[in-house]
Amino acid sequence: MEGAVRLGNPSDGGGSVTAADHKVLADVQNRFNDLAAAFRNASAPLGRHHDRAMGGAGQFSAQLQPGAVKFLLSWREVFSVCSEDAGLIAGNTGKTSVDLKAVDIDSDVTIEL
């Protein structure tokens, strides 16, 4: 396979080969980067919908507020975690070891353990 990544399998003495096409790996990486960006960008519309729901609740907004805030914060956290995970997958696609510093497309976020 031309332009492929070839890795020996250490568990069988390196006899078998795992191959992947560089273009396919780049496409997968781009798709996960796009997914990470989509999750990051989902928080803004969610906030607008929260505001619209509160505005539309009228006299019942006080009763809606506690649950709406919890809902908003929980989904923002979900989108944040999903964005970070998709970035980790993109940053490690095609690698022979896991790089925890490659969190997003700019690699400007690191994980400190």
Is the pLDDT at 6 greater than 60, yes or no?
no
Q: Which residues, including other chains, have CB under 8 Å from residue 80's CB and lie 6 or more apart?
A: 39, 40, 43
Mean pLDDT of the chain: 80
Q: What are the extents of the domains in the chain?
A: 4-8+16-92
pLDDT in tens, 26-79: 999 999 999 999 999 998 888 888 889 889 999 999 999 999 999 999 999 999
- Can you give the chain as a three-state secondary structure string? CCCEEEEECHHHCCCCEEEEEHHHHHHHHHHHHHHHHHHHHCHHHHHHHHHHHHHHCHHHHHHHHHHHHHHHHHHHHHHHHHHHHHHHHHHHCCCCCCCCCCCCCCCCCCCCC
